[in-house]
Each structure stands twice: as structure tokens, then as C-alpha cells.
Structure 1
Amino acid sequence: MLNIEDLFKGRHFDREIIILCVRWYLRFKLSFRDLVEMMAERGVSLTHTTIMRWIQRYVPEFEKRWNCFACRAGGSWRVDETYVKIKGRWTYLYRAVDKEGKTVDFLLRVKRDVAAAKAFFRRAFKNQGRLPQKITLDGYQASHRAALEVLGEHRSGKRTKIRSSKYLNNLIEQDHRSIKLRLGPMLGLKRFRNASITIAGIELMHRIRKGQFKLGKLRIKNKTAPEMWNAVLAA
């Protein structure tokens, strides 16, 4: 993993400006051109394509560094998928939260089928480092089949209870809204890979808001957002 100096080495703009633009774009309902105008008022001349490139370059790095401090989610998961339009076509964002509303994982896929659901469950199990005690799904049978098959790949998979409940899944459906509300002002995503990276950044900001990271060792309690980001990236 690159240190913070090498991460921003050779960039025309200071790292504080880059971090600020990336963070504001992912967190607030701003377009690239909104950010260009806001930065111009602060005496910084940018183009919208520059910010776009920063998103694609730095979101994976930021996510990697923040994940070093991630808290493990609870053992009762609510799993559901929502729709995201990319270049005029609907794609599917698989997401899960625990019973406290903490994000478990997410995965953008082109299709909504057994293979896509299996890919999501494998990713979630791997990233969490353990199997959940319960998985709550909606009535879509492909998701039930995928969960059973992936759990069958683990010795302790039979201990996980799979259930179907529309009422209990209201929690994940409400959580989708925070992601969809941010995606709306983006006026359409054009490429699947770029969309995946952008959504990963939005999910990261959503997890930060939920307090899903242990940052005590960095001694950044009650400090401002820029100080917090610099501390995490430098760690």
C-alpha cells in the first residue's frame, strides 16, 4: 500500500483539494459542474473531467485504507437488491445490512439471477470473515437458492437460518434510499466499471456516517472531517 505522499505524488493540485472534491462529490448531491463552480469561488480552477478522474483513481485507494479500520457487522443480515441505471440499462445493486442498519456489503451486477446472488454472498462472507446466524430475504427464489448453495460450501453453513420476510426487510429497503438519493443527481452513469467505483465511494461515505469504523487508535475524536481523512490515509 502506497504511503500518503506517494499516493498523491505528481498531482498538479494539493492533496487537500483532491480529498475535499472526492469527499464532497460522494457525500452530497452535487454534480461535477457544481463542484467546479464551488472550487472556482475559492480560487481553484478545475474542469469536471479532472474531478471525474480523481473519483476513479482515488476511491479504491480510500476504500482500501478505511477498511483497515472497519468494524465487523452483526450476525443477522437483511439482503435485498435495488436498481441502478447505467447508460440507459437497468443493472442490479445487491446490498445487505445487519439488524442495526450497519452496512454488511454490496455488489453491482449486470443481471439479477442465481449467479449474481452467489457472487454477492461469497463476497460478503469473505469480507466479513464469518457466516451470519440469520439471512433475511424477500420472496425472490434465485436469492434463496444462491444463499443455500453458497452456505453449502462451508462446513458450518447449516447453522445459518434463511428466512423470508417482507416486514423485516423494510430496514434494507429504507437503507437503499440513501444510496439512490445520491445517485439521482448524477444524471446517469455511463460505464459499468466507473459506476462500480462511484457506488463504492458512496457506500464508503454511508458507512462513515453510520460510524462503522474504529478510529480510536488514531486519536482523532472530535476532530474535523479533513483531519480525520488525513489521519486515516496516512495510517
Structure 2
Amino acid sequence: MKTISYHRHRFHPDIIRQAIWLYFRFTMSYRDVEELLAERGIDVSYETVRRWALKFGAEYARRIKKHRPLPHTEWFLDEVFVKIGGKSMYLWRAVDGEGEILDVLVQKRRNKRAALKLLRKLLQNQGILPTKIVTDKLRSYSAALRDLNMEHLHDTTNRLNNRAESSHVPIRRRERKMQRFKSHKSAQIFLSAYGPIYNLFNTQRHLISRKTLRQLRSIAMVEWNFVTNAA
């Protein structure tokens, strides 16, 4: 894998990687990361942390996605209302049968065109075809799946889509911490990087033993070190 260039950055790459890990892994602001680094004797401004997150976050996420196994073939789709810059918008989200975030799109509408955009992006990027697509009863999904000749995969059974609806919770926490997303573009940039990093460290600890949790944490950190060229 081609190495990431940290050329012309005053701080050591390990500090940059740690700052980005803290910001995306936990519900923190840039100022929170600044304070944690300061406690360790590292004087970095929150604006520098912001620039690092924008520059390196997307690249780390792209590398993580490249090395993740193929997703589960059951896909769960949902959309949630958000206020961005004083305007009503929607976060369209897709997760698989194991709870991994497949993609998130910020869109202005909740219609067939918006549903088609999400579905086409999923089909293009995931590398597999789904065996089931679970949604709520929003008609936009049915219309979009008809256009794609995939209506036979559609399932709108009551409460079956709870997996997708629950997946909004971490983003809602981040949204509150960030005092709402400031623009369509900045929201999409953050969410595109956040999803793969969240997947890497999401161990679903409530379902596993302590021993398994330690093993999965170790595996996740090894993968993180690899994709950020720390190993």
C-alpha cells in the first residue's frame, strides 16, 4: 500500500493519527481533542485538529473500506430529518445485517430520486448484490426499487427495520456535540469518514464475552495502525 505523506507537517505522524482517532472514535469536539493532547504536553490548536481531520480522515476511511470484508447481503435503509444551516434536509442511511454502516447520503429530498441515488451508489460500491432490502413504508423506496427491477427483494415488515433506525443514534450524539452540522458539504464530508472508522471499532460489546472484546479491540487497532501507516 502506498504510504500516506505527512510531509511538511510540524507534528509527528503519531500525534496526527492519535488526534484523528480520538475525534472520530469518541463523541468529541476539536477542542476536546486539543485538551486531551495538551494534558499529554502536546500544544496543538483545535483549528489544527480540524484541518487534520479534513485532510486525513477521508483517506483513512477510504483505506479502511478497501480492507473490510464484503458486507452482509441483507441491507436496511432508512432516512432521518436534520436541520443543516437552518434548512430541512435528510440523512439517508444504509446498514447491513451485521450493523455495519454501508453508506450515508445527505440529500434535500425524501423522494424517489433521492432513494435511487442511494441505491445506485450502494450497488456500485459494495461489490455484491443484496438478497433482501428492508425499509419502512415510504413509497419512495418501492418506486426506486421498481426502476431497478429489484422490487422482489423489498421487505417492509413492521419493526424489521429497527436495525437501521437504531443506527442513527451515534450520529445524533455527534450532531448534538457539534451543535448541528453547519452545511450540506461539511456534513457529507464528516459522515463519509465517520462511517468506516465507526465500523472498524464497533465490536457490539453487549453481544460478546470480555475475552472476545479484547481480541477484537486488538485486531481493530492493528488494522488502524496498518491503514494509517503506523505499523
For the aligned pair, the TM-score class normalised by the smaller chain equals: 0.7 to 0.9
Offset at 1:182? 2.4
1:55-94 residue pairs with structure 2 within 5 A? 55-94=53-92
User: In the alignment, which of 166, 181, 184 is matched to residue 189 of structure 1?
Assistant: 181
Q: In the superposition, relative to structure 1, how do residues 85 and 53 fare at CA in structure 2: closer, same or farther (>3 Å)?
A: farther
* Correspondence 1:164 to 2:162: no
Question: CA offset at residue 85 of structure 1?
Answer: 2.7
Structure 2 residue 222 is matched with structure 1 residue 230? no
Separation in structure 2 between the aligned mates of residue 189 and residue 20 of structure 1, nearest angstrom: 24
Cα RMSD (Å): 2.4
**TM score, norm. by length of structure 2:** 0.85
For the structure 1 residues 65 and 100, does the alpha-carbon distance in structure 2 shift closer, same or farther, using more than 3 Å as the test?
closer
Mean CA deviation greater in 130-139 or 83-92: 83-92
Task: For 2:219 and 2:22, locate their aligned partners in 1 and report how far apart those are by CA, in whole Å.
Answer: 14
- The count of aligned residue pairs is 220
Structure 2 unpaired stretches of 5+: 204-214
Please give the per-residue CA displacement for 1:195-229, whole angstroms capped at 9, x wherever unaligned: 11111222122211236xxxxxxxx9874866542
Query: How does 1:111-126 map onto structure 2 within 5 Å?
Result: 111-126=109-124
List aligned pairs for 1:109-148, cutoff 5 A.
109-148=107-146
Secondary structure of 1:171's aligned partner = helix
> Could you tell me how far 1:42 is from its partner in structure 2?
1.4
Amino acid at match of 1:59: G
Q: Determine if the alignment matches structure 1 residue 45 to structure 2 residue 43.
A: yes
Aligned to 2:190: 198
Residue 180 of structure 1 corresponds to which residue in structure 2? 172
What CA distance in whole angstroms lies between the structure 1 residues aligned with 2:96 and 2:163?
Answer: 9
Q: Give the stretch that moved more between structures: 82-91 or 186-195.
A: 82-91
Distance 2:89 2:11 in 1: 35
Instruction: Report the residue type matching 2:136 in the other structure.
Output: D
Q: Offset of 1:69 from its aligned partner?
A: 0.8
* Cα drift, residue 72 of structure 1: 1.3
TM-score (norm 1): 0.83
- Deviating beyond 3 angstroms after TM superposition, the runs of 4 or more aligned structure 1 residues are 220-228
Alpha-carbon distance between aligned partners in 1 of 2:200 and 2:115, rounded to the nearest angstrom: 26
Deviation at 1:91, TM superposition (A): 1.9
**Which ranges of structure 1 fall in alignment gaps of 5 or more residues?**
212-219
CA contact (8 A) 1:179 1:202 kept: no
Distance in 1 (CA, whole Å) between partners of 2:95 and 2:217 is: 27
Q: Quick one: distance in 2 between partners of 1:221 and 1:164? A: 33
**Percent of aligned pairs with the same residue?**
31
User: CA contact under 8 A between 1:137 and 1:144: conserved in structure 2?
Assistant: no
Counterpart among 208, 211, 227 of residue 200 in structure 2: 208
Counterpart code for 2:224? W
8 A contact 1:93–1:108 mirrored in 2: yes
Once residues 129 and 77 of structure 2 are traced to their aligned partners in structure 1, the CA distance between those partners, rounded to angstroms, is 14
Which secondary structure state, in structure 1, belongs to the residue aligned with residue 79 of structure 2? strand
- Deviation sequence 1:120-164 (CA, Å, 0-9, x none): 000111111232111111111112211221x23xxxx46x42121
Secondary structure, aligned partner of 1:93: strand
